[in-house]
């Protein structure tokens, strides 16, 4: 017989205040691109991950594996990936393990992609011809945008594509739980190009494990101009059909 103490705690009643708090955590989440060096206690990271672990997954498979990097281990990862990214033709030498973006862009997706890029680079004063400046900004991905905590998410290759759907719900839960605690994040697919560098540094066998993404975690720099970027969202009527 299962002891009552081992059962999950029943959720508290939902109140208007709790609805507002959840909505605020979701709607205030943004991809932050410059962080303060303020440390994040391990206990707080563990609390965030414990909450996120309640994310749903098919038949409760829980396919996520999280690697938390701080201090020297974080710096080692950043240094090695930055060195790889600085090589000639890095996009030919390093490729993603799965297709994140479509092979052929169509509207409205290409329009949204272009707009967010132009808006970000516009805030940073980087014109279309400033390729070097854009490359430097892109390389900041591999510093976790100065966040003191770098998260790397992996999955075992044996899992099916449906597990990536589960993973997305877990990642969103991580970001919302962090936001509820006054922290900010930036999910980063850019790391995926360098999985052949990252996985061995994590002690993982690339034949068995696949990288899903990286994520910066910390306190947003309130003075950074890039952190004022607020991306647009389609109205509910634009993506919903009521039948």
- CATH number of the domain to which 212 belongs: 3.40.109.10
| Angstrom distance (rounded) from CA 179 to CA 175 | 6
Residue 120 lies inside a defined structural domain of this protein = no
Q: Is the pTM of this model over 0.75?
A: yes
Residue 126 lies inside a defined structural domain of this protein = no
Mean pLDDT of the 181-202 span? 97
Say what the pLDDT of residue 194 is.
95
Domain enclosing residue 210, as ranges: 31-100+141-228
* pLDDT tier, 10 (very low <50, low <70, confident <90, very high otherwise): low
Say what the pLDDT of residue 87 is.
87
Mean pLDDT of the 129-145 span? 94
Mean pLDDT of the 127-141 span? 92
- Calculate what percentage of the chain has a pLDDT beyond 90: 86
Q: What letter does residue 109 receive in the DSSP assignment?
A: H
* Residue 183: pLDDT over 90: yes
Say what the pLDDT of residue 241 is.
97
Residue 11 lies inside a defined structural domain of this protein = no
- Which of 25-39, 82-96, 121-135 is the least confident region? 82-96
Show contacts of 42-45: CB within 8 Å, 24+ apart.
44/181, 44/183, 45/149, 45/217
* Residue 3: pLDDT over 70: no
Q: Which two tokens stand for residue 47?
A: 């609390």
Residue 3 lies inside a defined structural domain of this protein = no
Quick: pLDDT tens for 96-124. Answer: 989 999 999 999 999 999 999 999 999 99
- Beta strands of the chain (E only): which ranges? 65-69, 149-156, 184-188, 209-218
* pLDDT tier, 11 (very low <50, low <70, confident <90, very high otherwise): low
* Residue 40: pLDDT over 90: yes
- Calculate what percentage of the chain has a pLDDT beyond 70: 95
Considering its fold, how many domains does the chain have in total? 1
Residue 206 lies inside a defined structural domain of this protein = yes
Say what the pLDDT of residue 30 is.
96
Residues 173 and 51: beta-carbon distance below 8 Å: yes
Residue 95 lies inside a defined structural domain of this protein = yes
Q: Which 3 state secondary structure label does DSSP give 95?
A: coil
Residue 211 lies inside a defined structural domain of this protein = yes
* pLDDT tier, 14 (very low <50, low <70, confident <90, very high otherwise): confident
Mean pLDDT of the 129-152 span? 95
Say what the pLDDT of residue 9 is.
65
Mean pLDDT of the 145-169 span? 97
Residue 128 lies inside a defined structural domain of this protein = no
């Amino acid at each position: 017989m299962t002891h009552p103490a081992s059962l999950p705690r029943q959720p508290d009643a939902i109140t208007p205040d709790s609805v507002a708090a959840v909505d605020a955590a979701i709607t205030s989440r943004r991809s932050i691109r410059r962080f303060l060096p303020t440390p994040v206690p391990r206990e707080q990271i563990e609390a965030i991950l414990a909450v996120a672990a309640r994310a749903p997954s098919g038949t409760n498979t829980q396919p996520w594996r999280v690697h938390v990097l701080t201090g020297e281990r974080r710096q080692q990862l950043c240094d090695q990936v930055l060195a790889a990214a600085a090589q000639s033709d890095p996009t030919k030498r390093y490729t993603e393990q799965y297709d994140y973006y479509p092979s052929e862009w169509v509207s409205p997706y290409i329009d949204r992609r272009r707009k967010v890029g132009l808006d970000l680079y516009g805030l940073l004063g980087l014109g279309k011809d400033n390729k070097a400046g854009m490359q430097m900004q892109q390389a900041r991905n591999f510093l976790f945008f100065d966040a003191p905590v770098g998260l790397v998410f992996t999955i075992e290759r044996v899992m099916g594509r449906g597990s990536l759907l589960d993973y997305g719900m877990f990642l969103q839960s991580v970001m919302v739980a962090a936001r509820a605690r006054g922290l900010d994040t930036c999910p980063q697919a850019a790391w995926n190009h360098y999985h052949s560098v990252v996985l061995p540094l994590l002690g993982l066998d690339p034949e068995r494990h696949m990288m899903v993404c990286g994520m910066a975690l910390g306190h947003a720099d309130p003075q950074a101009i890039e952190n004022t970027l607020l991306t647009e969202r389609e109205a509910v009527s634009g993506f919903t059909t009521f039948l």
